[in-house]
Amino acid sequence: NPFADPDLNNPFKDPSVTQVTRNVPPGLDEYNPFSDSRTPPPGNVKMPNVPSTQPAIMKPTEEHPAYTQIAKEHALAQAELLKRQEELERKAAELDRREREMQNLSQHGRKNNWPPLPDNFPVGPCFYQDFSVDIPVEFQKTVKIMYYLWMFHAVTLFLNIFGCLAWFCVDPPRGVDFGLSILWFLLFTPCSFVCWYRPLYGAFRSDSSFRFFVFFFVYICQFAVHVLQAAGFHNWGNCGWISSLTGLNKSIPVGIMMIIIAALFTASAVISLVMFKKVHGLYRTTGASFEKAQQEFATGVMSNKTVQTAAANAASTAASSAAQNAFKGTVDSRKQFSNQEKKYSVYF
C-alpha cells in the first residue's frame, strides 16, 4: 500500500524499543561534549577565579599623599631646620658676646651701664646690669619680670602726679595730695630700685641668702605700700579707689582718670603678691637659709674695708688712750713719791 506508514511494520520503530534505547547512556564513541545541553544545578557549580579586567579604583581613605602635601611637609621640615640653625647661631653669638665681656671685665673692670645715660651727661651710670651675664638662665625671666614690675610702678607713680593735679584743679583743698604725689614719685622710685630690686638682682647673681632676706623684708613693706596706694585714703597723695570716688563726684572726667590710676595701683599690688610667691619658691630651690644669711652677714661685715678701718681706728684709739692713761698714772705716782720724800726731808 503506497499510502501506508513505512514504519508501521518496522520492528526497530516499536515505541517500547525506542524508549529503551533512548534511556541507555551513550557510548564513548558517540560522546559529543557540545551536544549536551543539560546544565548542572546552581549549587554544585564552582565559578573559576577569573582575574577582573576592570580598572583598579582606590578608596579615598587609602590614597597616597599627594605631591603638594609632600612638598608642604618638606617645606615645614626645612623651615624647622632653618629655625634651629638661627637659634644656634644666636646662641653662638651670645656666647661670643659674653666671652668678650668677660675678657673686658677681667682687663678693664666692670663698667656701669644703668641707667643708660648719654656720654655727655654730667652724671654717669650708677649700676651695672646685664641679665645674660649675671643671672643664670633659669632665673632670668623672673628677674626681668621684677624689673618690668618696678618700671610699671614708677610709671604709675608718675601718672599719679597728673591724677592728683587734675583732682586739685577741680577741688582746691586737695593741694596736699598733689604735693605728696610728687614726693612719693621722687622717693619711692629710686628707693624701690635700690632697696628691693638690686638685692633681688644680687641674690640671683651670687646666690646670696642675706640678699634674699633683705629683699623679702623690704618687699613686704613695698606690698603694703601698694595696698595703701590702691586704697587711696584722703590726704595721702594717692589716686586710689576712695579718692577716685570722691573725685568722681566733683568731675566725671577727673574721676575716670583717677579710677584708671587706682586700677594700675591695684594691678601692681596683685602682681607683687604673685611675684613674691614665685621668688619665694625659687628661693627654696636655691638652698639658701637663715644660717647662711647670718654667716654671709658676719663675713661681709668683717671683710668690709670701712668696717675694718673703723675697727682699726677704734682699736688704735683705745690702745693710745690706755697707754696715755698708764703713762699718766706712772707720772702721777712719781710726783706723789717725790712729794712724800720732800715732806720726810723737812721733818728730818
**DSSP assignment of 213-265:** HHHHHHHHHHHHHHHHHHHT-TTTT---HHHHHHHHHH-HHHHHHHHHHHHHH
pLDDT per residue over 125-164, tens digit each?
888 898 888 888 889 999 999 999 999 999 999 999 999 9
pLDDT per residue over 87-110, tens digit each?
888 778 777 767 776 676 665 667
Q: Structure pTM?
A: 0.60
Helices (H), the chain: 15-23, 67-108, 131-134, 137-170, 175-192, 198-206, 209-231, 241-250, 252-285, 290-303, 305-347
| 193 confidence band (pLDDT: 50, 70, 90) | very high
Which residue is associated with the grid cell 639658701? 288
Residue type (1 letter), 157: L
Rounded Cα distance, 103 and 105, in Å: 5
